[in-house]
Structure 1
């Protein structure tokens, strides 16, 4: 089972403020523990939405919308991707996640389970995804 731990953005992350040494130390300690346990798949921070864009789809048309985006509560500042045996194991790891913006700052993380190919009805498209997955 794969889970994504999503760090929600705040005004500082959207302003490009880099984490201090104490927070970076707590994050590397946590991610080293994940790696040592063999459950870490990927992790990184994201640059502010001012460096990004969105693609809006509407009635067959695509529109590019450049950042920044106003609602920081809807933005992601970073993520950690883990693979564990159960939801309960994921919850145990998430309980250890450092406060994402520092011990004294407000913040929020969201955890979402990823779909696996076995979750879908078998068919030609899923078979093609399996082939692609094998190539990667």
Structure 2
């Protein structure tokens, strides 16, 4: 079965200090339990703020390092999920359900990509 990487893109400045609805944790926990029991979820996690990160760039035969925060970037990867689904349609359905748990006033984008396998 194909594997898919779901990358959650957020504007961390917009969501910094944002309040989660009271029932958010319960609803998210139930969805994660369901997706795990279905044998789909392989791994998932949120990521720390870009202020804790470092970008490593290879250019012109040299490495350079840039410590965060990365102020020139509006959207950053805030979390990920690695899923094994029967097809892209199933991966998109789980992604839809994940996004719909979040507050309507939030702007969150999920980039879903299939992992290339030989």
Task: Please confirm whether the aligned pair reaches a TM-score higher than 0.5, indicating the same fold.
Answer: yes
After superposition, the CA RMSD in angstroms is 1.9
Unaligned runs of 5+ in 1: 119-136
Q: Distance in 2 between matches of 1:22 and 1:81?
A: 25
TM-score (norm 1): 0.74
- Name the structure 1 match of 2:80: 79
TM-score (norm 2): 0.84
Q: Please identify which structure carries the higher strand content.
A: 2
**In the alignment, is residue 111 of structure 1 matched against residue 98 of structure 2?**
no
Q: Distance in 1 between matches of 2:99 and 2:91?
A: 15
Q: Please identify which structure carries the higher helix content.
A: 1
Aligned residues: 114
The answer on whether the counterparts of 1:3 and 1:81 sit within 8 Å (CA) in structure 2 is: yes
Q: Distance in 1 between matches of 2:115 and 2:10?
A: 21
Unaligned runs of 5+ in 2: none
TM-aligned CA deviation for residue 57 of structure 1: 0.8
Q: Distance in 1 between matches of 2:23 and 2:104?
A: 10
